[in-house]
Amino acid sequence: MSLLQVVPLGGCGEIGKNCTAVVQGEEIIVVDCGLSFPHEEQYGVDIVIPDMSWLVENKKKVKALVLTHAHEDHVGAIPYFLQILPDVPIYATPFTEALVRSKLQEKARNIEPNIKRMSFGDVISIGEMSVEPIRITHSIPETAALAIRTSHGIILFTADYKFDFSPVDKKLTNIKRFAELGEEGVLLLLSDSTNVDRKGWSLSESVVGRALEEVFAAAPGRVMVTTFSSNIHRMQQVVNAAKKTGRKVAIAGRRMDSTVALCQSMKYLDMPPAVYVKIDEIGKYAPGEVVILVTGSQGEPMAALSQMSRQEHRFLKIEEGDTILYSARPIPGNEGAIYRTVNRLIHLGAHVILEHDSPIHASGHGHQEELKMMVNLTQPFYVAPVHGEPRHQKLFERMLWDMGHVRHRIFLLANGDILNIDENKAWKAGHVRAGEILIDQAGGQEVGDRVLRERFNMAHHGVVIVAVEVDQKSGTFVGKPTLSAKGFCGEAKDLDSARAAVMDSVKGLSPAEVQDQSTLEDALCEPVRRIIGKEARQKPEVIPIILRT
């Protein structure tokens, strides 16, 4: 019987850009294809996608891309996936399909994806394997755990989940089905591990609804709520709370606007016409009658709330008496930008309520006891915690130990690891190429390592340009070398002494050396680096410009 392989290309050892391949013989099923966001030092990068070159090498084997849910970290890289694997069918629940299609509409009009509808209860045959989506609760509708039947047994992807027993859309997790699979026997459980460091149970989303209602009722003026654009349940609760407290709802933020429109049209969001108001008409209502859903919960510089905090928004101005709710949790690393925004908002007279001040946010990811419950239900033979950084995967392992799980049947996978499974055992068997591709969305270009290094260096030390003019025929200089700088915080005299050093260093060059590009570049740059390093203690990017005539 052929070997079974599981190969994560993203989402293992990180939170973001989830993408995992299940390989059986000549067939590959890919689960999710998401993006992540750059960290503070990846300058000028907009999004990060998985390196999918291994999939390209195995083009012929790839039979399907199956999606668990419509969050960016699970579907955001699909436009890039389709550029390299345009014919691969994509399986998705109706809601996920709709969001992916609208995303493709705006990002890649030229691509016509082959998306196949997937409904809970279906069992979809894909080559020798089959996929069964199972309903599970998360912060976005129609999230599907995936039971993939292989010749060696069931591989169960939990997807991102929590056990919410009072979900906003009243659609409960199919616990029974997970128990049945456990009884039948789950070979490998790939489990969400994001909140393993949080004890107990997560808050039910419906608890947030009550908290929002209280704030809306008590707020003297306008209320603004910021959350993730994809958090439909949260937005539904904002609408409900607004209705109950006699407020109108408007939306500020392009991405949120389009999501809401789509969800309304598909009846995933119930927003009565009596409640909804176009943002440019919100001024007609008294402050006490207004709720505005705004983008910017993570301090994104161009989001509506951030623009307001800088008083740069086209028409929305923060006023004394405004109440602003951060109905979201800061993603680690964003705290600085978020608090700078919050302070500006408060400075403009707003009352700001943060996630930790009152229960106005509930995580979409289950806490420790929920993760245990899933393991308990599904009784997996092998377990691999995914959707977590190493610190989460490690804690998940310790949790499994506490549960008495056999140590050698736990696998902490990194992106690119190959997990082999045969009749008798499972083992890590080397790596495939995997990693991050940094994308500059404006130009659609990839930002390479060299470019990043140069940007980092220029950001911290600036640039010094040393230019000289050469008579190529005679191999002699025309005029003297000139130096100029940008983003450089040394003094003029530092540049002067560097210039003097350059003069010395080029003086001794033979015509042949002057005619040779790299020799002359070194003769120009080395003294600049040396002198600037010694006198200004700076390490600027030094750029030689040689004009040859």
Q: List contacts with a copy of itself (CB under 8 A).
A: 13, 39-40, 43-44, 197, 332-333, 335-337, 339-340, 342-343, 346-347, 351-352, 354, 356-357, 389-391, 394, 440, 442-448, 451-452, 454-456, 458-463, 465, 467-469, 478-479, 482, 484, 486-491, 536-538, 541, 543, 545, 547-549
150 token code pair: 């292989």
Q: How far is the CB of 194 from a copy of itself (least distance, A)?
A: 13
Closest approach, Cβ 39 to a copy of itself, in A, equals 5
Question: Is 471 one of the annotated active-site residues of the chain?
Answer: no
Shorter beta-carbon distance to a copy of itself: residue 440 or 513: 440
Return the amino acid letter for 202. Answer: S
If the CB atoms of residues 122 and 521 are measured against a copy of itself, the closer one turns out to be 521
Q: Which is nearer to a copy of itself, 261 or 451 (CB)?
A: 451
Please, which residues bridge with residue 200 across strands? Answer: none
Instruction: Output DSSP code: residue 280.
Output: G
Cα-based distances in Å from 384 to 158, 179, 193, 390, 518: 11, 19, 10, 12, 52
Q: How far is the CB of 227 from a copy of itself (least distance, A)?
A: 19
- Distance in angstroms (rounded) separating the CA atoms of residues 449 and 429: 28
DSSP letter string, 6-50: EEEEESBSBSS--EEEEEETTEEEEE----B---TTSTT--EEEE
Q: How far apart are CA 378 and CA 360, in angstroms?
A: 32
Pick between residue 236 and residue 309 the one whose CB is nearest to a copy of itself: 309
CB of 349 to a copy of itself, least distance (A): 10
Q: Cβ 328 to a copy of itself, closest distance in Å?
A: 15
Beta bridge partners of 470: 477, 548
**What's the min distance (Å) between Cβ of 359 and a copy of itself?**
14
Catalytic residue among 32, 192, 322, 417: 192
- With beta carbons less than 8 A apart as the criterion, state whether 342 and 330 touch: no
Question: Which one, 266 or 478, has the nearer CB to a copy of itself?
Answer: 478
Q: For residues 356 and 425, which CB has a smaller minimum distance to a copy of itself in the complex? A: 356
The C-alpha torsion from 426 through 159 and 86 to 418, rounded to 10°, is -20
Strands 124-126 and 153-157: unpaired
Considering only CA atoms, which of 426, 429, 539 is closest in space to residue 490? 539
SS3 of 54-81: HHHHCHHHEEEEECCCCCHHHHCCHHHH
Whether 192 is catalytic: yes
3-state helix/strand/coil string of 148-209:
EEECCEEEEECCCCCCCCCCCCCCCCCHHHHHHHHHHCEEEEEEECCCCCCCCCCCCHHHHH
Pick the catalytic residue from 69, 365, 387, 461: 365
Minimum CB–partner distance for residue 399 and a copy of itself (Å): 13
Name the residue nearer to a copy of itself (CB basis): 311 or 484: 484
Tell me which residues are annotated as active site: 192, 365
